[in-house]
Amino acid sequence: MSVLVNKNSRIIVQGITGHEGSFHAEQMIAYGSPVVGGVTPGKGGDMFLDRPVFNTVKEAVDKVQADTSIIFVPPAFAADAIMEAAEAGIRVIICITEGIPVQDMIKVKDYISKFPCVLIGPNCPGVITPEEAKVGIMPGFIHRKGKIGIVSRSGTLTYEAVDQVTKEGMGQSTCIGIGGDPVPGTTTLQAIQMLMSDYETEGIIMIGEIGGSMETEAALWIRDFGTKPVVGFIAGKTAPKGRKMGHAGAIIGGAADTADAKIKIMSECGIHVVDSPSQIGKKMREVMENASR
So which residues are the catalytic ones? 247
In this structure, are strands 203-209 and 145-152 parallel, antiparallel, or unpaired?
parallel
**284: closest CA among 230, 226, 227, 209?**
230
CA distance 24 to 267: 38
Answer for the pair 118, 91: CB distance below 8 angstroms, yes or no.
Answer: yes
E runs forming strands in the chain: 11-14, 35-39, 47-48, 51-54, 68-71, 92-95, 118-120, 126-129, 133-136, 145-152, 172-177, 203-209, 230-235, 272-273
Written as one string, the DSSP assignment of 252-277 is --SGGGSHHHHHHHHHHTT-EE-SSG
Would you tell me how many other CB atoms lie within 10 Å of the CB of residue 133?
25
Q: Check: CB of residue 230 under 8 Å from CB of residue 203.
A: yes
For residue 72, give the nearest of 102, 96, 55 by alpha carbon.
Answer: 96
Q: State which H helix or E strand residue 23 sits in.
A: helix 19-31
Q: Are strands 126-129 and 172-177 parallel, antiparallel or unpaired?
A: antiparallel
